[in-house]
């Protein structure tokens, strides 16, 4: 049903739950999973965030941190599963996710959501919500602690 599933990850518990669901779907449909982590460049460019650290050094550290976290995430959630690729991108997360979904011809995006509401939602916004609204393909948003919908 889905040849490729794009799985954006920020390495959080929400992303871990989305990874579990994506892997179940991939097993069921024989799909390839593309794991994507987006380095949030606008945050890195903010002088309050980076202080006196030179931009190139900060980018290098962010890339190293992302790769280390991707490796750890794969070891925990994709051990024994080989039908996947990984990608690192830099930019505004929702834009990169949507762009990479098109670029990889993903048939489905499985994305974790923190489920923020109220003031927290207004302040932080929702990457998942923007992806749901703007993606060219179906999006399955997975909330931590949500009900099980797939049967083993």
Interior/surface letters 78-94, b for 16+ CB within 10 angstroms, e for the rest: beeeeebebbebbebbb
Contacts of 82 (CB under 8 A, 6+ apart): none
**Distance of alpha carbon 124 from alpha carbon 14, whole angstroms:** 16
CATH of the domain spanning 4-143: 3.40.50.620
Which of 16-20, 55-59, 62-66, 116-120 has the least mean pLDDT?
116-120
Say if residue 150's pLDDT is above 80.
Answer: no
Cα–Cα dist 78/138, whole Å: 23
What contacts 29, CB < 8 A, 6 or more positions away? 1, 2
Residue ranges per domain, the chain? 4-143
SS3 content of the chain, % helix, strand, coil (to 5): 50, 20, 30
With contact defined as beta carbons under 8 Å apart, do 116 and 31 qualify?
A: no
Residue 26 has pLDDT above 70, yes or no: yes
Q: What is the pLDDT of residue 41?
A: 74
What share of the chain has pLDDT > 70, as a percent? 80
Could you report the per-residue pLDDT of 84-124, keeping only the tens digit for each?
A: 999 999 999 999 999 999 999 999 999 998 755 554 444 44
* pTM, two decimal places: 0.85
């Amino acid at each position: 049903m889905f040849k490729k599933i794009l799985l954006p990850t920020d390495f959080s518990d929400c992303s871990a739950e989305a990874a579990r669901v994506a892997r179940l779907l991939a097993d069921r449909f024989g799909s390839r999973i593309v794991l994507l982590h987006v380095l949030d460049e606008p945050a890195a460019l903010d002088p309050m965030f980076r202080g006196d650290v030179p931009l190139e050094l900060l980018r290098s550290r962010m890339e190293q941190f992302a790769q280390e976290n991707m490796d750890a995430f794969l070891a925990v959630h994709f051990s024994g599963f080989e039908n996947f690729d990984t990608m690192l991108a830099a930019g505004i997360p929702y834009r990169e996710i949507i762009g990479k979904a098109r670029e990889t011809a993903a048939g489905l995006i499985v994305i974790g959501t923190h489920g923020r509401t109220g003031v927290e939602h207004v302040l932080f916004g929702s990457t998942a919500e923007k992806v749901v609204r703007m993606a060219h393909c179906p999006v399955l948003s997975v909330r931590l602690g949500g009900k099980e919908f797939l049967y083993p």
